[in-house]
A and B are shown apart, each in its own frame.
Chain A
């Protein structure tokens, strides 16, 4: 079984500042992937970034980066130079593959507000 916990229901940030969203997870698998998805007001889910558990190097996609602490089972998302368009609900998710592939398990989500 897989579980994902996002302990911050809401976060806010000033435009151009940096914000970090927290996520912890649990899985019994050794091979798995972690994801951050964004759900803007349109409610369409958009992949922000993904990280393979075997890779030591933290993933980066433009202004988005992760801090992956495997031993602590922590997978936080850092958004640099925040923009108004970053306002959305952010979901952390884990997929352990094998017979469970595609069965993403999501956290409860964090609503991010960006202040101009």
Chain B
């Protein structure tokens, strides 16, 4: 079955440590996204990528980095510069037809990141 796989499900970060969240999709989608969800709040966009080897900052990119070397993969690194990293992180993808606002986003099952 096609879908989006996020790993790990739970992740713990020590002070000063960088951690990487994995996101893989086999839907042949061009566009991929990372969202952050804090308790009692909606999702906020961290980074998005419309095509391989290209990505743009979302609304809260500070302290995060991404890469898009393969169409299927869009890993997110939470750097030590992110002072409040505890949150639920959701990866999503869409077909990626440029300029279209009606695209359905397909979401992964998320990674809960906590600070030790």
Contact = CB atoms under 8 A, between A and B. Distances in A.
The bracket for how many chain A residues form the interface is 20 to 34
Interface string B89-114: 01010101111111111011110000
Interface residues of B, number: 29
B81 interface: no
Given A47-B104, A52-B102, A108-B40, A103 B110 contact: no
B63 interface: no
A70 to B, nearest CB: 15
Given A42-B109, A43-B110, A102-B50, A108 B100 contact: no
A47 B102 CA distance: 12
A102 B99 contact: no
Contacts of A108: 40-42
A102 to B, nearest CB: 5
Q: Which 4 A-B pairs have the closest CB atoms?
A: A97-B101, A106-B42, A45-B107, A95-B101
